């Protein structure tokens, strides 16, 4: 083995430059390693970025869903308070309270009551990611326009002003 190698070496030793020129081994190793490293990194990195984006997308969808559910529950509470406040006779006090979760998927949210024209609606929104959901509210008594942060929510009837108000607490 060594003798064969020595003979090849001695034959090649006459042309050092040509030996270097025709020696592929060093280039292929470095390039090969660099290439495979790069490709592997790209693959894994690409996979991670895609799945990260997927999780983020799911999170936004989930937040939207949860805000829808919470919005419907608050709307139902406002409708219930409206029903009690619209009964015959003098209604002195109507309070409908509900415990809502403080956060949706780890993000704080706010509930805003708005009315434009004849329609009253709730807007639930979070800051990051930026999600906003609108839920309609159907009442006979007018509802005051307020902003409430998520958590425990109360719908209170104000007999003097004959309107409902969504409050914190």
Partner 1 sequence: MADVASSVRERGQLILIGGLSLAVVFVALALVLNSAIYTENLATRTSDNPADTAMQFRHDALVGAGTVIEHVNRNGGDRTYSDRYSEYQNAVDEWQGLHASYSAVNGLFTEIRAPDGAGNEGTRVVDDDPGSNYTSAAGQTDWTVANDAQIRQLQMNVDKGDFPSSVDDGTVKDTLDGAENSAFYAEIDDGADSWRVAVYRDSNTDEVKVMSYDLSGGFSTCTAEGESVQIDITGETLDGTHCEALSFVDDLSNTHAISYHNAHLIFGTYELTVDRVEGSFRSEVDAENGGSTYFDNPGDGAPYTTPAIYSATIELVYDGPSVTYETEVRVAPGEPGESAVAPPVAHLDTFGGSGPLSKEHDGDVTRWSP
Closer to partner 1 by Cβ: residue 11 or 47:
47
**Residue 146 touching partner 1 (CB under 8 A):** no
Quick check: helix, strand or coil at residue 159? coil
Instruction: Name which of 133, 148, 115, 125 is nearest 72 in CA terms.
Output: 133
Q: Which of 6, 8, 31, 40 binds partner 1 (CB under 8 A)?
A: 40
Closer to partner 1 by Cβ: residue 15 or 103:
103
Instruction: Name which of 144, 16, 25, 156 is nearest 80 in CA terms.
Output: 156
d(CA 146, CA 151): 15
Least CB distance from residue 91 to partner 1, whole Å?
A: 5
Binding mask 96-125 for partner 1 (x = CB under 8 A): xxx-----xx--------------------
Closer to partner 1 by Cβ: residue 30 or 149:
30
* Cis bond upstream, residue 129 (ω within 30): yes
Q: Which of 7, 12, 28, 54 binds partner 1 (CB under 8 A)?
A: 54
Backbone region of residue 134 per phi and psi (left: phi > 0; alpha: psi in -120 to 50; beta: other values) = beta
Residue count at the site for partner 1 (CB under 8 A)?
Answer: 47
Instruction: Name which of 95, 79, 83, 94 is nearest 135 in CA terms.
Output: 79
Instruction: Name which of 137, 126, 125, 118 is nearest 74 in CA terms.
Output: 137
Summarize as ranges the residues that interact with partner 1 (CB under 8 A): 29-30, 33, 36-37, 40-41, 43-44, 47-48, 51-52, 54-55, 58-59, 61-62, 65-66, 69-70, 72-73, 76-77, 80-81, 83-84, 87-98, 104-105, 136, 138
């Amino acid at each position: 083995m060594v003798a064969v190698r020595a003979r090849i070496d001695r034959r090649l030793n006459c042309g050092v430059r040509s030996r270097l020129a025709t020696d592929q081994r060093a280039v292929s190793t470095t390039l090969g390693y660099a290439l495979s490293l790069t490709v592997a990194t790209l693959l894994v990195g690409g996979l991670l970025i895609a799945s990260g984006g997927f999780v983020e997308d799911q999170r936004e969808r989930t937040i939207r869903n949860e805000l829808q559910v919470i919005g419907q529950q608050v709307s139902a509470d406002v409708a219930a308070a409206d029903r009690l406040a619209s009964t015959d006779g003098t209604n002195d006090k109507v309070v409908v309270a509900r415990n809502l979760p403080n956060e949706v998927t780890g993000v704080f949210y706010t509930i805003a009551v708005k009315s434009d024209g004849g329609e009253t609606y709730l807007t639930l929104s979070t800051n990051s990611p930026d999600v906003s959901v609108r839920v309609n509210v159907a009442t006979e008594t007018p509802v005051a326009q307020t902003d409430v942060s998520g958590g425990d929510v109360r719908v209170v009837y104000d007999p003097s002003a004959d309107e409902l108000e969504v409050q914190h607490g």
